[in-house]
Amino acid sequence: MQYFRDGSSYFIRIDKDEDLFKSLESFAEAEELKCGHLSGIGALKDCELGFYHLHEKTYDRKMFKDEAELLSLDGNLSIFDGKPFFHIHTVLGGPDFSCFGGHLFSAKVAVTCEVNFRPLDIEMERQPNSDIGLNLLHFCNINPDT
């Protein structure tokens, strides 16, 4: 992994065989980042995807081992349990140009991964929500509720 900051944004290159989440987490820790938005392209492998069944409050999980084009990666950084937590959804592309995707639990970089990260000066924490069964975003500063 290599990354570079300009005033308002980071550019991150994660390299072949590196773990996507471990790389992003070590980036966030090194830069002391707590909140932000990210997007990226590249190619991934060993992707564990999830689909959340709200009524059962459980994720179906499935591993996709093959290399896939990373067509869309969108997500955010917040704090969960005192640590940086990346929430990422992704669309992947297969060799026949079909698409598949879901909530991304884990992945390795297959070729390269080019990520743009924009820090936000907001404190967001994930807190358990028993109705939903997931850890939802909570803004730690006072803010409008509508």
Of 19, 76, 80, 106, the residue at the interface with a copy of itself (CB under 8 A) is 76
> Nearer Cβ to a copy of itself, position 90 or 107?
90
> Nearer Cβ to a copy of itself, position 39 or 106?
39
Residue 79 in contact with a copy of itself, rule: CB under 8 A: no
Q: Residue 144 burial by CB count (10 A; 0-12/13-18/19+): exposed, middle or buried?
A: exposed
Per CB under 8 A, contacts with a copy of itself among 105-134 are 110-112, 114, 116, 118, 120-122, 124, 131-132, 134
DSSP code of 56?
A: T
Of 58, 99, 127, 128, the residue at the interface with a copy of itself (CB under 8 A) is 99
Q: What is the Cα–Cα distance from 25 to 29, expressed in whole angstroms?
A: 6
Q: What is the Cα–Cα distance from 62 to 41, expressed in whole angstroms?
A: 21
3-state SS, residue 26: helix
Q: Residue 87 burial by CB count (10 A; 0-12/13-18/19+): exposed, middle or buried?
A: middle
Per CB under 8 A, contacts with a copy of itself among 16-75 are 16, 26-27, 30, 35, 37, 39-43, 49, 51-54, 60, 62, 64, 67, 69-75
Nearest distance in Å: CB 73, a copy of itself: 8
